[in-house]
């Protein structure tokens, strides 16, 4: 407190960033963040920002905002929710200590989480149950959801989805009218036009053993297939794992309720 001219003036000091452990930050980055942002903060794709050389206070503040939900990003909200204040400080300090990435640089780091064991379910239309349809207004798409017998049976019995479960979706562009708006069918769903791609999630014994706990969805793996049934290049299932991670109580499935009601 400083006194002068008969007044008391309180000096307010901004809080100092929490003391950080760079080595602990490196360990956390290696097991979780590196899947998308690279082991040294140089990201694995053009869609993911480089973090190398960013200011520690800035990174820490962003992680806190992602954890409390004031900054919205479904994937990072799920990851940040699992970080303690100390974890955030450590990770921020580690990335800040790395040399800034050169323009156009991309990490060659390809962790186990980027791999998938999911294969295209040939003949699914004859053996799977179509159990749900969803309109996606933002992308003008409609998706049809299918599940194999093992998944449907478990959901109907109120059990966790077992190994060998497969959930599969066809993703179509909606047919558009003259005003470029999706055409609505009599069932309340967009009329499908062009098939764009397929998405799939499947569970196999030991499929999650090489995935860090903060991303692991039990033994589920994910993938995206092109219309010719090939894995779409550049897909990193870490994004899927992070998005589904909060759904542990529903077998990591967004549509479990609809699956249980499949006919």
Say how far apart CA 44 and CA 235 lie, in whole Å: 10
Say how far apart CA 45 and CA 166 lie, in whole Å: 28
Q: What's the DSSP call for residue 6?
A: T
Query: Do 91 and 132 belong to one domain?
Result: no
Query: Do 152 and 245 belong to one domain?
Result: yes
149 within 8 A of 131, measured Cβ to Cβ: no
Say how far apart CA 56 and CA 65 lie, in whole Å: 14
- Residue 215 domain boundaries: 124-260
22 within 8 A of 94, measured Cβ to Cβ: yes
Tokens of 214: 């903060």
What is the per-residue pLDDT for 43? 82
What is the per-residue pLDDT for 55? 95
Q: How far is CA 98 from the centre of its chain?
A: 25
H/E element, 139: none
What is the per-residue pLDDT for 108? 52
Sign of CA dihedral 52, 53, 54, 59: positive
Query: Do 143 and 85 belong to one domain?
Result: no
pLDDT below 50 — which residues of the chain?
Answer: 1-16, 109-110
Query: Do 26 and 104 belong to one domain?
Result: yes
| 22 Cβ contact list (under 8 Å, min separation 6) | 90, 93, 94, 97
202-235: string of b/e by CB count within 10 Å (b at 16+)?
Answer: bbeeebbeebbebbbbebbbbbbbeeeeeeeeeb
Residue 135: which CATH number? 3.50.70.20
Quickly list H helices, the chain.
22-28, 34-37, 56-68, 74-80, 85-96, 124-127, 149-156, 238-244, 256-260
Query: Do 103 and 128 belong to one domain?
Result: no
What is the per-residue pLDDT for 131? 98
Say how far apart CA 112 and CA 35 lie, in whole Å: 8
What is the per-residue pLDDT for 228? 98
Domain boundary among 110, 136, 168: 110
Tokens of 155: 């959901």
Query: Do 75 and 162 belong to one domain?
Result: no
Say how far apart CA 89 and CA 19 lie, in whole Å: 7
What is the per-residue pLDDT for 5? 43
Domain boundary among 40, 75, 110: 110
Query: Do 132 and 65 belong to one domain?
Result: no
Domain total in the chain: 2
Tokens of 188: 């309340």
User: Does the predicted model carry a pTM greater than 0.75?
Assistant: no
215 within 8 A of 30, measured Cβ to Cβ: no
Say how far apart CA 243 and CA 74 lie, in whole Å: 6
Say how far apart CA 92 and CA 55 lie, in whole Å: 8
Query: Do 99 and 209 belong to one domain?
Result: no
Residue 41: which CATH number? 1.10.760.10
Count of Cβ atoms closer than 10 Å to residue 243 Cβ = 18
């Amino acid at each position: 407190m400083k006194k002068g001219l008969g007044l008391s003036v309180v000096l307010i000091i901004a809080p100092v960033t929490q003391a950080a452990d760079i080595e602990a930050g490196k360990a956390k980055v290696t097991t979780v963040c590196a899947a998308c942002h690279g082991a040294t903060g140089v990201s694995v794709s053009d869609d993911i920002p480089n973090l190398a050389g960013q200011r520690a206070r800035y990174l820490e503040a962003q992680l806190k905002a992602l954890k409390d939900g004031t900054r919205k990003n479904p994937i990072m909200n799920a990851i940040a929710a699992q970080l303690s204040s100390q974890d955030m400080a450590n990770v921020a300090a580690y990335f800040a200590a790395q040399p800034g990435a050169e323009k156009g640089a991309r990490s060659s780091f390809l962790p186990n989480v980027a791999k998938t064991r999911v294969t295209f379910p040939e003949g699914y239309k004859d053996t799977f149950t179509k159990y749900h349809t969803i309109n996606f207004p933002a992308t003008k798409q409609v998706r049809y959801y299918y599940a194999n017998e093992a998944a449907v049976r478990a959901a109907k019995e109120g059990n966790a989805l077992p190994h060998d479960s497969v959930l599969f979706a066809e993703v179509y562009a909606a047919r558009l009218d003259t005003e470029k708006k999706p055409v609505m069918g009599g069932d309340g769903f967009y009329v499908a036009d062009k098939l764009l791609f397929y998405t799939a999630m499947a569970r196999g014994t030991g499929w999650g053993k090489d995935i860090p706990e903060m991303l692991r969805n039990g033994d589920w793996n994910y993938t995206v297939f092109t219309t010719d049934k090939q894995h779409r290049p550049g897909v990193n299932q870490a994004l899927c794992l992070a998005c589904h991670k909060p759904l542990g109580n529903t077998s990591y499935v967004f549509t479990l309720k609809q699956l249980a009601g499949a006919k």
